[in-house]
Chain A
Amino acid sequence: MSDQTVTQTNEEQQSNDSTEQRSNSLTVDVETDERLVDSWTDYEFEDEAAITVEDLDVYYGDDHAIDSISMEIPERSVTALIGPSGCGKSTFLRCLNRMNDRIDSARVEGTVEVDGENIYEGDTDLVQLRKRVGMVFQSPNPFPKSIRENVSYGPRKHGDVNVGLLGRLLGNDDREVEREIVERSLEQAALWDEVSGRLDDNALGLSGGQQQRLCIARCLAVDPDVILMDEPASALDPVATAKIEDLIEQLAEEYTVVVVTHNMQQAARISDQTAVFLTGGQLVEYDDTDKIFENPESDRVEDYVTGKFG
């Protein structure tokens, strides 16, 4: 027990109204006796913020999945979101490109700014948003199409690349452009050397790790600024995981990467800063990764990262 924690009294438990508590910059977690401290999540950094989240709440029906989270994510870096299952980190991630819109029962309150624009404002163009904020999923999900078609799927559907009969008839066949996009994306995803000779083979014939890198390439092909990854390596073997991790670190030179992971060693290896979510959809601590793993402010975070809890 550190001096910051106070023993929870019955009185506090009864008046456990989160908004009221937060106005005093202190809130009491229902299940533990530790208070959340605002300064633990006030992460200071020098770069520009790519994403700014303010007072984000998410409800699934009556279920409060994200509890008033505010955080800023610096550009061109890897931000890891860690926490036990069901703590809301994936939900949080899916708020950043409005994938939660696809779930009928989900309700989102608060603001999320990407490049200074609130993406939850009425007239946000989802196509433009998702082109800027790409996403890679937990299990590799390439389309049952050729490797080439998988990578060029986004550009083709957005009309950036015209291939096919009509394009050829109108004289703007962009196959050269497409070839460049495919090569660039696959190279960025460290997959080009393995598949350059068989771009027209079906993507489902690739190994799991290759499929996941193909999904990353597919995401890169639409030229995003931010890449969201939802446990990108959890379905892969250690070798493929290592490749994905290397790739994430490389991508952070050009892109803002936000990774959800269950694997704390992975978060420690690849991320620049780490946000720890604990039960109830609360962000408990957000700081430099070294700080989180070596000397966290919160006792619960310390217990979690050292494996005593969660």
Chain B
Amino acid sequence: MSEQTATRTAAPAVDLFDRIALGVVGLSIVTFLLGWTTLFERTGTDTAVAGLSLFTLFGAVFLLAGIGLLVSGIASYVGAFETTADRYTGIGTGLGLGIVGFAVGGLATTILFGVGATGSVLVGLVVGLVVTSGVAVLPEDLGTTFPVGLLGLAWGGLLVTGAVDAGWFWNPPSLDATFHAPIVVPLATIALSLLIAWSGAIVAEGFGSQGRQNGAYLLIGLNAFGMIAVLLLLILFVVQKGLPKLLEGAQFGPGLGISVPFLTKGVMLGQQYNGIFPAIVGTIWLVIGAVLLAVPIGIGAAVFLTEYAEQGRFTAIIETTTNALWSTPSIVYGLFGYAFLVPRFGNSNSLLAGMFVLGFMLLPLVVITSRESIKSVPDEYRDASAALGVNQWQTIRSVVLPAAMPGVVTGVILGVGRIAGETAPILLVTSGQPFPARAPSILGSFRFVATPPFVQNEALLQASSALPYQLYAVITAGVGQEEAFGWGTALVLLLVVLGFYAIGIASRIYFRRKLHQ
């Protein structure tokens, strides 16, 4: 093996082989990235690189990469370069490429010849089977490069010759949809780039197990990168749309202080800048109320189920039901609140009802995650504590729960992310006027009275707005404000949720520190 590596680095011809492979990988990464930016309209059909339109550029790159793959595959096969290719490509790779063959063959048949669904599926199956069996028995250096290289040549040829250009579209007869080039080309480009990058990575390591590892690594890496890129683009999109509204009329700077009317004002007639302050306050109170309700009960239930209850059918049933409750649609919770809680809380929509419903929604997740993290506290701690004569409750309080806290907090963070954005229950049990002028003043409304329940809070029993509800009202139902108002709300909702995450992560770090200092 080491001998082989030595000859490979010594021979200039091998250098050339490596360069071709790396070139193929590099080119396909470029098209992969450009594919994503095109899909999200950061680059478009009118973008020109070095005098070539984007699609022509894609075509040229695929032609080059396809030729590179074919050449290096043949070169390895005829023995021009020393590689560690296996004798057969194997059924796994064969199946993978066969599925690609099925999709390409089937689609090509319908698009080119207008064959119906059954016919194209049959053709696709035939192509897929041929590719699978062919690739499986070919030597590895041909099996991994040839199908991919040929596909690259074909797609590159279509793009370069203009057979598929910016105005191209496909209108399948059996569907009402039309597929336009600005969507189809980037998608196909991304998929093909992944394939070519995979194949190129295998070639770059000279096939064999090293090559397969390199190929898998690159494929997984590019996929992960693609997913993260989608998320970042999503956030960027919301920020871009929402930021102008958020900063409308905002003033910063020396002598001015900081004023952001969108965040600090409600909606009132005759006001220069309207804002969403009441909804922000509503959402924050809803989350605080739900957390205060669900976390103590949830942790208590988890402690009981894990530490005290006899593990058996009872706990198994509870576990199944908790999981089922967590996946229950939120509108069902909302309906329960509407039919059961609202009539009992003064027969009108109220913040308190919203807190309860969201608390019920959060409860199962707190129970599930708390149970898991209590279970994962090592039994050695419990044994050590018991051997010192410390009773079970004290052990739970001073050893088990502190050790389980980071996991519990993680669960609460995840749950808060879900309930803060929940619209359906709020629509049913909390919402009143979507754009109120004033925020609910919870802290200022506590009154102590001489009769039970001794504490009254008017604001808790009144309807309130909340960010997701307002978003729904503006964007979907088109009520009240202009669209930009909705985008501003969306951005603020995102920030509020991220704010809760930050609090959660900070407290998790605090609890971890306490365990490990």
Contacts and interface: CB of A to CB of B under 8 A. Distances in A.
Chain A complexes with chain B? yes
A218 interface: yes
Interface string A132-151: 00110101011111100000
A126 interface: yes
Contacts of B515: 144, 202, 204
B394 A157 contact: yes
A130 interface: yes
Nearest to A131: B389
Contact of A134 (B381, B383, B387): B387
Contacts of B380: 137, 139, 141
Given A137-B380, A157-B394, A204-B516, A144 B402 contact: yes
A6 interface: no
A141 B516 CA distance: 14
A154 B516 CA distance: 21
A245 B234 CA distance: 63
Contacts of A139: 380
A201 interface: yes
Interface in A142-182: 142-146, 153-154, 157-158
Interface residues of B, number: 21
A102 B395 CA distance: 14
Contacts of A9: none
Contacts, number: 72
Given A144-B515, A144-B516, A154 B389 contact: yes
Given A137-B380, A202-B517, A144 B403 contact: yes
A17 to B, nearest CB: 34
B389 A128 contact: yes
Contact of B389 (A126, A201, A204, A215): A126
Interface residues of A, number: 32
Contacts of A239: none
B315 interface: no
Interface in B212-269: none
Interface string B354-378: 0000000000000000000000001
Nearest to A127: B389
Given A157-B394, A157-B398, A202-B516, A141 B389 contact: no
Contacts of A126: 389
Nearest to B513: A202
A129 interface: yes
A104 to B, nearest CB: 8
B388 interface: yes
B506 interface: no
A238 B515 CA distance: 29
A143 B381 contact: yes
A93 to B, nearest CB: 11
Given A157-B398, A201-B517, A137 B389 contact: no
A158 B398 CA distance: 13
Interface string A173-214: 000000000000000000000000000011011000000000
A146 B381 CA distance: 14
A87 interface: no
Most buried by A among B386, B388, B398, B516: B388
Contacts of A142: 384
A135 B402 CA distance: 23
B390 interface: yes
Contact of A143 (B384, B389, B391, B394): B384
A228 B510 CA distance: 36
A222 B517 contact: no
B48 interface: no
A29 to B, nearest CB: 32
19 contacts: A99-B383, A127-B389, A127-B391, A128-B389, A129-B389, A134-B387, A141-B381, A141-B384, A143-B399, A144-B515, A154-B388, A154-B390, A158-B390, A202-B516, A202-B517, A204-B515, A218-B384, A219-B387, A219-B388
4 nearest interchain CB pairs?
Answer: A130-B389, A141-B380, A135-B387, A202-B517
Interface of B: 310, 378, 380-381, 383-391, 394, 398-399, 402-403, 515-517
Interface of A: 97, 99, 102, 104, 126-131, 134-135, 137, 139, 141-146, 153-154, 157-158, 201-202, 204-205, 215, 218-219, 222
